[in-house]
Chains A and B, each alone.
Chain A
Amino acid sequence: MTAKPQFRALDGRSGGYYGLLGILVVVIGLGLLAAVLKSAHGHYITGMDNQIVWGLPHVFAIFLIVAASGALNVASIASVFGRTIYKPLAPLSGLLAVALLVGGLAILVLDLGRPDRLVVAMTHYNFKSIFAWNIFLYTGFIAIVLVYLWFLMERRMNRYAPTTGMLAFVWRLILTTGTGAIFGFLVAREAYDAAILAPLFIAMSFAFGLAVFLLVTLAAYQWSERPLGDLILRRLKNLLGVFVAVVLYFVAVYHLTNLYATRLHGVETFLLLEGGIYPALFWVGQILLGSLLPLALLFHPVWSRARKVIATASALVILGGLAQLYVIIIGGQAYPLDMFPGFEVSSSFYDGVVVPYTPTLVEFLLGLGGVGLALFLVVVAIKFLHFLPVSLADHKVDPHHASRTDTVTASAET
C-alpha cells in the first residue's frame, strides 16, 4: 500500500521566496505598463500592423494556453490512467494548468484593440466563431480544473476526483483542438490550410506543458529543499522525450504533406528555406535546439541523470516551442496571400511581398507579463495552499522502491 502523500504549504518566509515574488511583481507591472501604453497610443507603437495583425503577444499567449492544457498531463495520467506514482503531483499539475491559462488569456485580452470591451465579448456571442467557442472552452477549463483541485485536496471529496479528472482530460483535448482550429479556419492562408494542425497542437501541448511542469517542480523542490527522488523525475523526463518526438513526427507529416501539394510549394520554400528569420527559427530554434538537443539530453544514459540536464532540456523545449509558434503565427502571416495566381502583384498595401515584422519592447513586455502572472499565481498558491507533497523521495512515491537500493534501480531503468 502506498502511504498517503503528505502535502504542506511552503513556509515562504525566506528572502529567496520574497525575492522571487518581487521579481514576478515587477514583470507583471511592466506587462501592465506595456498594456497601458498600447491603449493610450494605439497599436502603432507595436510592431504589428495591418498585415501582421497578430504578433509576439500572441506567440506568448498561445504558448501559455497550449502549455496550460499540457500541464494537466501529470494529473490526467494519475487520475485517468491510474498511475499512482504521479498522484502526489496531481494538485501541482492542476494548479499550473489554471495559472498558465490565466496568464495566456490575460495577454490576449490586453492585446485587444478594445480591452475595455471584455464585457461585450462575454455577452455577445457569435456561435459560428471558433473564437467564441474558445471563450467557453477556456472558462470551462478553469472551472473544471478548480473543482478537480478541490476534490483532490479535500479528503471528503476525494472519491469524485477521478471522474472530474476524466472530464478535465477530455475537456483539455477539445480545448487544444479549439486553439489549433483558430488557425485551421483561415481558409485563405496557405500555411494554415492543414487538418493536421489539430493533432499537432495537441502534441505540442503535451510537450510544452510537461516541460513547464518539470521546470517548476525542479525549482520548487530545489528552492524549498524538499526531497525529490530520481524515480519520478526519470519517468517524467522519459515522457517529455516521447512527447517531443511525437511533435517532431507531426511537424514532419505537416511539411511532407504540404510538399506533396504543388500549390503549397511556395509557402513551404518560404518557411523551410528562403524566408530569412522563419527557416532560421525553424531549423535552429525549433528542430535543433528545441527538439533534437533535448531528445539527446533526455535519453543520454549518463547525462540524463543530472537534474541540471533535465532542467536544461525542459527549458530548451520551451524555447523551441516559442520558436515554433513564432513561425506558425507570424511566418504564416508574413507570406503573401495568393490573390491572383499566376500574376506578379504589387500595391501600396504590401500585396505580393513578404511582410516584414519587427517586434517591439512593448509587445515583449506584454507577453512576458503574462508569463509572470502565471508564475506569480503558482508561487502564491503553493505558499497558502497544500499543493506540494512534503517529499517526493523515491520510497514515498513508490513503496516497493524502498526495498531496492537507489543505484541498482538507476542503472536498471536508464
Chain B
Amino acid sequence: MSQKTSAPISRRQFITGAAAAVASVTIAPGVFLMRPADAGTAEGVRWGLLIDSNRCGDCNACVTACHEENGVRGMDRPRTDAQWIRKVELRDPDTGHSHSLPVMCQHCEHPPCEDVCPTGASFRRADGIVLVNKHTCIGCRYCMLACPYKARSFIHETLTDQAAHAPRGKGTVESCTLCVHRIDRGERTTACVEACHDKGNGAMLFGDLNDPDSAISRELAEHGGTAIRADLGLNPGVRYQGI
C-alpha cells in the first residue's frame, strides 16, 4: 500500500474490472487508496484452485490460515459467524468411505450471486475473481440465497480489528476473495494453498486456468478434475479431484 497515486479512476471502472491495471484498497468507508496493480486483472488470466480431496487431511489448516489472513474472527456464535472457507466431510453411505474437502467461493464464471444482486455489488473481475463491493452492498442477502455452494456469509454484528486489505462491515455480505490482495501484489498463491503446502499435504493448487503451461492446467490436463454441481453449468474456477 506504499505506491499511492491519485489517479482519477472512477469506482465504476473498479467495479467492472474495466480498469485492468488498477485495484483499490479501502482504508475507511468512502476512502479509496488507488494504486497501479500488477498483472492482477490482466486480460486473459483466470485464477483458480484445484483441490485434491485424496490428499486433503484431517486438518483445518486452510480454514485457519484464511480466516487469520483476512481477519475473519468468530464471536463463538456458530449460526451467525462468518466462514469464508469450511471443511466438508463426505461419507459414501454404500461403502462407508469418508473423505473431506474445503469449500469456499467457487469463483463461478457465470455467478448466480452476480446475476441476482440488485445493485451490482457482487461482481466478477476480468481475471475471474468474484468479489463483493463493500460500498454498494445493501445487505439484501439475495446473493446468499442464490449461491449454490453456500459460499457467502453476512456480517451480523459490529466488527473491530479488521485486516486493512479485507474491509468488512456490519450489514454487508462477504466471501472468499481468492486472496485478491496477494494477487494484486503480484504474489501467486493464497493463504489456504500456502497453509496446505506447509502442512505437507499439498492438496491445493493455485494458478491460471487459462495458461496451458501453468501447474494447475497441466495437472487438470493430466488427471482431470470436476466442479461441484457441474450440472448447473456455472463453470466454477475451483476444481476438485477425488470427489
Task: Identify the A interface with B (CB < 8 A).
Answer: 39, 41-44, 49-51, 53-54, 112-115, 117-118, 120-121, 124-126, 128-132, 135, 182, 185-189, 333, 337, 339-340, 342-349, 351
Question: How many angstroms between the C-alpha atoms of A180 and B105 in the bound complex?
Answer: 27
Q: A369 CB to closest chain B CB, in angstroms?
A: 19
Bitwise interface map of B from 137 to 168 toward A, beta carbon under 8 Å scored 1, else 0: 11111101111111011111110000000000
Partner of B145, one of A53, A135, A344, A351: A53
B78 lies within 8 A of chain A by Cβ:
yes
Partner of A339, one of B83, B93, B154, B228: B228
Task: Identify the B interface with A (CB < 8 A).
Answer: 75, 77-83, 86-93, 103, 112, 114-121, 135-142, 144-150, 152-158, 170-173, 228-229, 232, 243
Given contacts A112-B139, A112-B140, contact A49 B79 (CB under 8 A): yes
Question: How many angstroms between the C-alpha atoms of A44 and B149 in the bound complex?
Answer: 22
Question: How many angstroms between the C-alpha atoms of A29 and B128 in the bound complex?
Answer: 46
Name the A residues within 8 Å of B88 (CB-CB): 339-340, 345-347, 349, 351
Name the A residues within 8 Å of B137 (CB-CB): 113-114, 117
Inter-chain contact A343/B150, CB cutoff 8 Å: no
Nearest-neighbor residue (CB-CB) of A337 within chain B? B150
Given contacts A49-B80, A340-B243, contact A187 B148 (CB under 8 A): yes
Name the B residues within 8 Å of A54 (CB-CB): 141, 145
Given contacts A50-B82, A340-B243, contact A44 B141 (CB under 8 A): no
Inter-chain contact B232/A50, CB cutoff 8 Å: no
Inter-chain contact A351/B156, CB cutoff 8 Å: no
Question: How many angstroms between the C-alpha atoms of A202 and B225 in the bound complex?
Answer: 44
Inter-chain contact B155/A113, CB cutoff 8 Å: yes
Q: B125 CB to closest chain A CB, in angstroms?
A: 16
Given contacts A188-B229, A345-B90, A349-B83, contact A112 B148 (CB under 8 A): no
Name the A residues within 8 Å of B89 (CB-CB): 345-347
Name the B residues within 8 Å of A351 (CB-CB): 86, 88, 103, 150
Given contacts A44-B80, A187-B232, A347-B88, contact A126 B158 (CB under 8 A): no
The 15 listed contacts between A and B (C-beta, < 8 Å) are A44-B77, A44-B157, A49-B80, A50-B144, A50-B152, A117-B138, A120-B119, A131-B142, A135-B118, A185-B115, A188-B229, A189-B145, A337-B148, A345-B89, A346-B88
Nearest-neighbor residue (CB-CB) of B91 within chain A? A344
Q: B122 CB to closest chain A CB, in angstroms?
A: 8
Partner of B116, one of A120, A129, A347: A129
Name the B residues within 8 Å of A188 (CB-CB): 112, 146-148, 229, 232
Name the A residues within 8 Å of B92 (CB-CB): 342-344
Question: How many angstroms between the C-alpha atoms of A320 and B117 in the bound complex?
Answer: 31
Name the A residues within 8 Å of B77 (CB-CB): 44
Name the B residues within 8 Å of A340 (CB-CB): 88, 90, 228, 243
Inter-chain contact B119/A125, CB cutoff 8 Å: yes
Inter-chain contact B243/A129, CB cutoff 8 Å: no
Q: A176 CB to closest chain B CB, in angstroms?
A: 18
Partner of A113, one of B75, B79, B173: B173
Give the tally of cross-chain contacts (CB within 8 A): 172
Question: How many angstroms between the C-alpha atoms of A54 and B92 in the bound complex?
Answer: 32
Name the B residues within 8 Å of A42 (CB-CB): 155-158, 170-171
Nearest-neighbor residue (CB-CB) of B234 within chain A? A187
Name the A residues within 8 Å of B86 (CB-CB): 347-349, 351
Inter-chain contact B145/A120, CB cutoff 8 Å: no
Name the B residues within 8 Å of A344 (CB-CB): 90-93
Nearest-neighbor residue (CB-CB) of A332 within chain B? B145
Question: How many angstroms between the C-alpha atoms of A275 and B140 in the bound complex?
Answer: 27
Inter-chain contact A113/B145, CB cutoff 8 Å: no
Partner of A114, one of B81, B139, B232, B243: B139
Question: How many angstroms between the C-alpha atoms of A344 and B96 in the bound complex?
Answer: 10
Question: How many angstroms between the C-alpha atoms of A60 and B232 in the bound complex?
Answer: 31
The 4 closest A-B pairs by CB, nearest first: A113-B139, A113-B171, A188-B148, A131-B118
Question: How many angstroms between the C-alpha atoms of A349 and B119 in the bound complex?
Answer: 27
Given contacts A49-B80, A49-B156, A132-B118, contact A120 B150 (CB under 8 A): no
Question: How many angstroms between the C-alpha atoms of A333 and B147 in the bound complex?
Answer: 12
Inter-chain contact A126/B243, CB cutoff 8 Å: no
Question: How many angstroms between the C-alpha atoms of A202 and B157 in the bound complex?
Answer: 37
Name the B residues within 8 Å of A337 (CB-CB): 148-150
Question: How many angstroms between the C-alpha atoms of A339 and B103 in the bound complex?
Answer: 11
Question: How many angstroms between the C-alpha atoms of A131 and B80 in the bound complex?
Answer: 24
Nearest-neighbor residue (CB-CB) of A122 within chain B? B119
Name the B residues within 8 Å of A118 (CB-CB): 138
Name the B residues within 8 Å of A182 (CB-CB): 142
Question: How many angstroms between the C-alpha atoms of A39 and B171 in the bound complex?
Answer: 8
Inter-chain contact B232/A53, CB cutoff 8 Å: no
Question: How many angstroms between the C-alpha atoms of A208 and B165 in the bound complex?
Answer: 49
Q: B85 CB to closest chain A CB, in angstroms?
A: 10
Known: A42-B158, A50-B83, A128-B116. 7 other contacts (CB 8 A): A42-B171, A43-B157, A112-B140, A113-B170, A128-B115, A347-B86, A347-B89
Question: How many angstroms between the C-alpha atoms of A124 and B123 in the bound complex?
Answer: 13
Name the A residues within 8 Å of B121 (CB-CB): 124
